Chains A and B, each alone.
Chain A
Amino acid sequence: MAKIHVTTTVNGEPVEFLCEPQQSMLDVLRGPLGLTGSKEGCGSGDCGACSITLDGRLICSCLMLAVEAEGHEIGTIEGMASGDGLHPLQQKFLEMAALQCGICTPGVLIAARALLEKNPDPTETEVRFGLAGNLCRCTGYDKIVRAVLETAAEMRGAKAEMPEAVR
């Protein structure tokens, strides 16, 4: 099968690759591009482990054809930290133990960053719905939600109001 040549941007850097027409963006990221930080939990758009951004918009890379990257900007977990500094979300996830096995973590972080870019001051419910496409089987989400709220507050320069466990 003839391969297709694609020119795109990944994490701000120009990238070219060859792919088969039916290949997913996730396969190309993890295969030829060697960016294995995006994970495959289902391949069907149901777990969010493969979350990336396409021109800043949150998507499941397992549902995107690699050829669709032509001329667009892809953002993956590998581009989240800048230089030697972690993104505030990454730092907060470490401090607040918002990961256990860590397999969902890249996807959750990408989704959380996309959420905070749209909504810098989310409520607990908004965080929960913003991350509803990202399955985590380890944490019960509690520490993830707290870490996102706290990071949002810090990035706004405010102090987080932690939700009490009340209705």
Chain B
Amino acid sequence: MNDMTNKWIGQRTIRPDGAEKVTGRAAYAADTTMPGMIWGKVLRSPHAHAVIRSIDTAKAEALPGVKAVVTRADIVDFPLDKPVMLGIQDMRWMSRNVMAREKALFHGHPVAAVAATSESIAAEALRLIEVEYEVLPHVIEIDDALRPDAPILHDFLRFEGKPSNIAGKLEHKLGNIEAGFAEADVVIERSFTTRPVHQGYIEPHACLVSVAADGKTTIWSSSQGQFMVRAMTALLTGLPQSDIRAIPAEIGGGFGGKTIIYLEPLATLLSKKSGRPVKMVMSREEVMRASGPTSGSKSTVKIGATRDGRLVAAQGTFWLQAGALPGSPIRGAAGCGFAPYTIPNVVATGFDVVSNRSKVAAYRAPGAPIGAYAVECVIDEVAEALGMDPLELRLKNAARQGTKAAHGPVYPRIGFMETIEAAQAHPHYNTPLGEAPAGRLRGRGVASGFWFNAGGESSAQVNITEDGNVVVTTGHPDIGGSRASIANITAELLGIDYKRVSVLIGDTATIGYSNLTGGSRVLFASAMVVTQSAEKVITSLKERAAKIWKIDPEAVAWENGEARPVSENAGRFPPLSLAELAARATETGGPIGAGVQLNTTGAEGGFATHLCDVEVDVDLGIVRVLRYTSFQDVGRAVHPSYVEGQMQGGAAQGIGWALNEEYIYDRQGRVENAGFLDYRMPVCSDLPMLDAVMIEVPNPKHPQGVRGVGEVPLVPPLAAVANAVHDALGKRFYALPMSPPRVLERLEG
């Protein structure tokens, strides 16, 4: 872990999968084909809420070229009375999300699927399926869903004994909230709303599935977890997991949105029925209508502080949209908002609210940006009321080693204060905003954020090739450069050039169970299993050298990719290189390699502080980010470029969330902007350079000091931008996005 002695950890090496990606050769799911392949398509509900009385597929099945049709009758159902959990997902809801059962619950909800010999025949067949609907009143917004006369989505949901659209509640409590507020000199309470936003991965969901005559099934798909694909598909189709081989294609972005499945069980059933490999690819419109965005929200946050700037009480209530089926990320919203601070008295409550929208999916630190938006905006107001610098207030109350967080843990060594101090000392914070051109106003905002991070199950296999190079296999789809980091770590441990290490992602048949790429866990967890595997390999290499030299294995050291005697006393032998030992593997005990499978623990939380400068055009209402700097405790930057990349990408997504992105619904409950033209994500010309300052406070519970870095970057930006807009205009916004029409409205109001 000592920087001075590291040769590869911390180096900006070339990623192992890079050349294939810049030449267009990398195989993503939609690029995969098979002989005899046919095309699957999904029929989707044209109504936001409707009972499905009947589905008649006869005409579609009679169309020449149609090979199979599946409906709700083909998907495994689960009794509603008890949860069927797979990780954090309840398969009762997943089954109903993949295919509508009694009711269509949102516009775009799958109702049937067909497979045909061409895409156009499949599309034609969809038009021939006759579905009889009984249209019901629908509800989209939280406030409407909570009204006493609201249409109830699910008869089986009860809240406080009554039928309700509230699907769940979570509460964190610390100290005595009344006593805390009684101690406060300043109390600020505000209410906020945010709109649902999509993860916006550029690659639509896609899969190719082949079910052979004996039931052996191969799935190539775009997902954040091949084992998740296998398990969920098995549960929804009734196939045993041992019959399913799920192969992770290269993934074109996920950001949490590919931690669940949509197409795989449908394609599997279609392939089983037709006897042909079936390919399914969503259109962008389908992605926007029917794959999960993250929740829209409303929240109220109240914070009390003493005159000298001590935060003494904090209360937050967060209502999150789940979409049509339960499961919004209230844990992230209620758990993360106050987590960066030492506040003795806290109550944080989250409510999970269903309505006739597509079911939400994880999006980078699920829920945390929503919680942090409200909390960090109120902290900004508290600082203003106290006449304190907003970073100074944060520093004074920053969580540190020993702080007890309301969501449970007592923090070990963390680097949150360091992120604030780095921001204070950075040229960005110390450079005046400068004169804005006529008709424009400038402002600067700050905000901080926290994300839990995760450990969990991982497997790795490290094998030495016969010519003395290394192949590492892990079980996590690489979504942003994790293979590059694993190459660095393996090279470091074995003392060889990183180019001699090849890193592969195994499929469900070739590597042990590994949990999702999610929770910022991949490098944390895979580095642990790779490290332990490499250590076993080194032990074996030393034993082999000892055998050749006929000395005790204890007397052999592994240095710079070679075995050598620990000292002259052990004997005088020329060193044996990895290549030499590999060449003599057969005589010294056989193939050299080791695998480790673990349930990893010790992924400690991550913290960041962001600075944002904006310029607002007061005539057009356009907010432009002029300068943006993120400061994050990254634990250990094993490959700094890809750590910075996470920080920059998260900041850009947060800026989009703050300024432009939102789902817009019409009166019939249909998404009106289901495409990239009208769902406006930041393009290159919208953004400035995004500075990323990595602060390395190594995680004491990890061999390389790694902390998760992928999700924290999306937590602070919403409030950082909002606080900057306030600084520019002198007016506060309590709703996102701060899009041009909203800004103009606020300026006039």
A contact residues vs B (CB 8 Å cutoff)? 30, 35-44, 46-47, 49, 76-78, 80-81, 86, 90, 93-97, 99-106, 109, 124-125, 127-129, 131-146, 163-167
Complex Cα distance, B651 from A86, in Å, reads 31
| Interface residues as binary, B636-650 with A (CB distance below 8 Å gives 1, 0 otherwise) | 000101101100111
Partner of B691, one of A76, A102, A165: A165
Tell me whether A137 and B649 are in contact in the complex, defined as CB-CB below 8 angstroms, given that A36-B31, A94-B14, A165-B691 are known contacts.
yes
Q: Does B471 contact A (CB under 8 A)?
A: no
B252, chain A: closest CB distance, angstroms: 3
Q: Which residue of A lies closest to B640 (CB)?
A: A97
For A134, the chain B residues whose CB sits under 8 A away are: 683-684
B contact residues vs A (CB 8 Å cutoff)? 12, 14-15, 17-19, 21-28, 30-31, 199-204, 250-255, 281, 283-284, 428, 431, 434, 479-481, 613, 615, 626-629, 639, 641-642, 644-645, 648-653, 675-677, 681-685, 687-692
Q: How many A-B residue pairs have CB under 8 A?
A: 199
Partner of A78, one of B24, B649, B684, B690: B24
A127, chain B: closest CB distance, angstroms: 8
Nearest 7 A/B pairs, CB to CB: A37-B24, A103-B252, A140-B652, A97-B641, A102-B21, A77-B24, A46-B676
11 A-B pairs in the complex with CB atoms less than 8 angstroms apart: A39-B252, A40-B30, A77-B23, A78-B23, A97-B12, A100-B645, A103-B202, A133-B683, A136-B202, A142-B692, A167-B434
A102, chain B: closest CB distance, angstroms: 4
Please state if B30 and A137 are interface contacts (CB–CB under 8 Å): no
For B644, the chain A residues whose CB sits under 8 A away are: 97, 142-143
For A77, the chain B residues whose CB sits under 8 A away are: 23-24
Partner of B202, one of A39, A128, A140: A39
Q: Which residue of A lies closest to B624 (CB)?
A: A167
Complex Cα distance, B687 from A163, in Å, reads 13
Complex Cα distance, B203 from A96, in Å, reads 23
B425, chain A: closest CB distance, angstroms: 16
For B19, the chain A residues whose CB sits under 8 A away are: 86, 94
Complex Cα distance, B649 from A146, in Å, reads 15
For B690, the chain A residues whose CB sits under 8 A away are: 140-142, 165
Q: Which of B26, B653, B676, B683 has the most CB of A within 10 A?
A: B683
Please state if B24 and A139 are interface contacts (CB–CB under 8 Å): no
Complex Cα distance, B202 from A46, in Å, reads 11
Please state if A140 and B22 are interface contacts (CB–CB under 8 Å): no
For B652, the chain A residues whose CB sits under 8 A away are: 139-141
Tell me whether A132 and B685 are in contact in the complex, defined as CB-CB below 8 angstroms, given that A105-B21, A165-B627 are known contacts.
yes
Please state if A86 and B22 are interface contacts (CB–CB under 8 Å): yes
Please state if A137 and B200 are interface contacts (CB–CB under 8 Å): yes
B662, chain A: closest CB distance, angstroms: 16
A27, chain B: closest CB distance, angstroms: 9
For B626, the chain A residues whose CB sits under 8 A away are: 167
Complex Cα distance, B199 from A135, in Å, reads 13
Q: Which of B428, B648, B651, B688 has the most CB of A within 10 A?
A: B688
Tell me whether A37 and B25 are in contact in the complex, defined as CB-CB below 8 angstroms, given that A101-B480, A140-B690 are known contacts.
yes
Complex Cα distance, B538 from A35, in Å, reads 43
For B199, the chain A residues whose CB sits under 8 A away are: 137
Tell me whether A101 and B689 are in contact in the complex, defined as CB-CB below 8 angstroms, given that A30-B31, A138-B480, A165-B627 are known contacts.
no
For B687, the chain A residues whose CB sits under 8 A away are: 128, 140-142
Tell me whether A131 and B684 are in contact in the complex, defined as CB-CB below 8 angstroms, given that A46-B675, A90-B23, A140-B649 are known contacts.
yes
Q: Which of A37, A133, A137 has the most CB of B within 10 A?
A: A137
**A90-B22, A105-B22 given. 19 additional CB < 8 A pairs?**
A30-B30, A37-B24, A41-B203, A44-B677, A77-B23, A78-B24, A80-B23, A81-B23, A95-B14, A97-B642, A101-B252, A102-B17, A105-B21, A129-B685, A140-B690, A141-B690, A142-B648, A163-B689, A167-B615
Complex Cα distance, B251 from A41, in Å, reads 13
Q: Which of B22, B615, B650 has the most CB of A within 10 A?
A: B22
For A41, the chain B residues whose CB sits under 8 A away are: 202-204, 284, 676
Please state if A40 and B24 are interface contacts (CB–CB under 8 Å): no
Tell me whether A76 and B24 are in contact in the complex, defined as CB-CB below 8 angstroms, given that A42-B675, A101-B480, A142-B690 are known contacts.
yes
Q: Which residue of A lies closest to B478 (CB)?
A: A101
Q: Which residue of B lies closest to A102 (CB)?
A: B21
Please state if A165 and B684 are interface contacts (CB–CB under 8 Å): no
B41, chain A: closest CB distance, angstroms: 14
Complex Cα distance, B141 from A139, in Å, reads 32
For A145, the chain B residues whose CB sits under 8 A away are: 684, 689
Partner of A44, one of B27, B284, B628, B688: B284
Q: Which residue of B lies closest to A81 (CB)?
A: B23
Partner of A137, one of B14, B255, B628, B639: B255
Complex Cα distance, B24 from A78, in Å, reads 6
Please state if B613 and A135 are interface contacts (CB–CB under 8 Å): no
Partner of A97, one of B251, B627, B645, B676: B645
Please state if A86 and B23 are interface contacts (CB–CB under 8 Å): yes
Partner of A102, one of B252, B254, B692: B252
For A102, the chain B residues whose CB sits under 8 A away are: 17, 21-22, 26, 250, 252
Complex Cα distance, B307 from A95, in Å, reads 52
Partner of B22, one of A109, A139, A163: A109
Partner of A40, one of B204, B255, B681, B685: B204
A59, chain B: closest CB distance, angstroms: 17
For A37, the chain B residues whose CB sits under 8 A away are: 23-25
For B434, the chain A residues whose CB sits under 8 A away are: 167
Please state if B684 and A132 are interface contacts (CB–CB under 8 Å): yes
Please state if B18 and A104 are interface contacts (CB–CB under 8 Å): no
Partner of B479, one of A35, A100, A109: A100
Complex Cα distance, B628 from A125, in Å, reads 16
Please state if A94 and B200 are interface contacts (CB–CB under 8 Å): no
Q: Which residue of A lies closest to B25 (CB)?
A: A37
Complex Cα distance, B613 from A77, in Å, reads 37
For B689, the chain A residues whose CB sits under 8 A away are: 124, 142, 145-146, 163-165
A85, chain B: closest CB distance, angstroms: 11
Tell me whether A100 and B642 are in contact in the complex, defined as CB-CB below 8 angstroms, given that A39-B203, A138-B649 are known contacts.
yes
Complex Cα distance, B676 from A52, in Å, reads 19
For A138, the chain B residues whose CB sits under 8 A away are: 253, 480, 645, 649
For A47, the chain B residues whose CB sits under 8 A away are: 202, 284, 676
Please state if A94 and B18 are interface contacts (CB–CB under 8 Å): yes
Complex Cα distance, B681 from A42, in Å, reads 13
A150, chain B: closest CB distance, angstroms: 13
B64, chain A: closest CB distance, angstroms: 14
Q: Which residue of A lies closest to B678 (CB)?
A: A46
Complex Cα distance, B24 from A81, in Å, reads 10
For B613, the chain A residues whose CB sits under 8 A away are: 167
Complex Cα distance, B615 from A41, in Å, reads 31
For B677, the chain A residues whose CB sits under 8 A away are: 44, 46
Q: Which of B201, B283, B480, B689 has the most CB of A within 10 A?
A: B689
Please state if A100 and B480 are interface contacts (CB–CB under 8 Å): yes
